[in-house]
Structure 1
Amino acid sequence: MGIHSFHLAEVPPTTAARVLVGHRNDPGTAGLQHIEHLSLMTLGAPAISLERLQLRRHAVFAQWESEAALDDYLAGDPVGQHLARGWHVRLEFVRRWGAVTGLHRLPLNADTMDDDEPVVAVTLAHLKLPQLARFFRWGRPVERLVRDHPGQTLALAAVRPPRTFSTFSVWESVSAMRDMVEGRGGGQAPERHARAMVEREREDFHSEFTTLRFRPLSEHGFWQGRNGIVPTP
């Protein structure tokens, strides 16, 4: 049974620039089925800001044939060795909405989750460049909603210019994530996510978009001095 992984690491800017410019979804690494290289950004940051592209802070989302293939990559690949010095979580795929090329073969439903289970959510989108201003107008309030939500233990976004955008979040429970998505719960303007989804349905910001839900399997390393980011069931 294959797995997915999400990685955060500090890397040299030259390494980050090289893999972003030369990005391929399947670069021929043994056991690697799909990979996304991205640079971190600050949720809620101004649309034009140095916080929107942090070359030293690298994120990777990948799909693997097996944990052994991931272990080999972290031990033997030059970029993988940088990632091995950071933080990552190994993931069991549960559910997919939408589709992007390379991940479209994942089933819509592979399993179910209990409401009180910790859950990881990943979104990946290819933006329509003429929609960029509109995307930020509706997306930045959602970024702040997720960033400030008490039910998440880690929430961030990442980009690969010019048009690939991703979010990653770890939640204490499925019910906490669902409350955010559906506009329930406390905080200021909890309906921001639900309103943005209505606007996306009216006129899509993206040429491709997917939301993926995962069950966390194991957590490895540290990110900015933190571990234990994934809640214990």
Structure 2
Amino acid sequence: MTVHTFHLAQVPAAVGVRALSRPPAATSVPGLDHAESLALMRLGAPTVSPDRVQLRRLAMFAQWQDEGAVDRFLADDPLGRHLAAGWHVRLEYLRRWSTLAALPDLPVRAGAWEPDEPVVAVTVARMRIPEVPRFLRWGKPVERLVRDHPGTTLALAGFRPPRTISTFSVWRTVREMEEMVRGRSAVAEPERHAAAMAERRRRDFHHEFATYRFRPLSEHGSWEGRTAIVPQR
């Protein structure tokens, strides 16, 4: 059964650079369909800041043919062994909005969910370089909204030069995530996400953009001393 993973790890800078320049590929990693390697960014950080590209803090989002392929990668692959020392969550795919050329076969919807269950959201975007200043103007308030939202247990973003940006967030409940998306959260300026999406529809920031919803299946390891990042029902 297809499974997705999201990994976080502290790695030597050289490992981070190598992962960004040559991400794991299906041709070289058995059982891998696709992977996105990303340097972490701190949500809401100033545009020109070391926090915007952190080569020693690596993220990877991946689609696999089965969990056995994940286990073999973490045990046998040089990059996989670095990631195995960090944290990752295994995910059941549920829903997508739009699509990526790299992941063409995911159905629009693959399952049902309850409003009070935990959920993981991943976005992947390929930027239009001339639109980056406009994207930052609209996107940074959304970063702060998600980062500070009481419904998230972890929220971060990653970047792979020159134009791939991804966000990852773990939510206590589907309901809280959907309230944020629709601008209905009980927080200051709740409309920030909805306003940015309306601006994207008016004139797209991206060559391609997709949002994915997942059910967390299991989490492994720790991240910055934290375990049990995924809420339990």
Q: Same fold (TM over 0.5)?
A: yes
Correspondence list, 1:1-233, <5 A? 1-23=1-23, 25-233=25-233
Q: Number of paired residues?
A: 233
Q: Percent identity?
A: 58
| CA apart distance, 1:25 | 4.9
| CA apart distance, 1:101 | 1.5
| CA apart distance, 1:22 | 2.2
Structure 1, unaligned stretches of length 5 or more? Answer: none
Distance 1:91 1:54 in 2: 25
Distance 1:156 1:117 in 2: 21
Is the 2:25–2:32 contact (alpha carbons within 8 Å) kept by the matching residues of 1? no
Distance 1:144 1:33 in 2: 32
Distance 1:131 1:204 in 2: 8
Distance 2:27 2:186 in 1: 44
What TM-score results when the alignment is normalised by the length of structure 2? 0.98
Write out per-residue CA displacement over residues 20-62 of structure 1, whole angstroms, 9 at most, x where no aligned residue: 1123653421000010100000000111211110000000000
What TM-score results when the alignment is normalised by the length of structure 1? 0.98
Amino acid at match of 1:51: D
Is the 1:25–1:102 contact (alpha carbons within 8 Å) kept by the matching residues of 2? no
Is the 2:124–2:165 contact (alpha carbons within 8 Å) kept by the matching residues of 1? yes
Is the 1:123–1:212 contact (alpha carbons within 8 Å) kept by the matching residues of 2? yes
| CA apart distance, 1:188 | 1.2
| SS of aligned partner of 2:143 | helix
Moved over 4 A (4+): none
Distance 1:195 1:34 in 2: 31
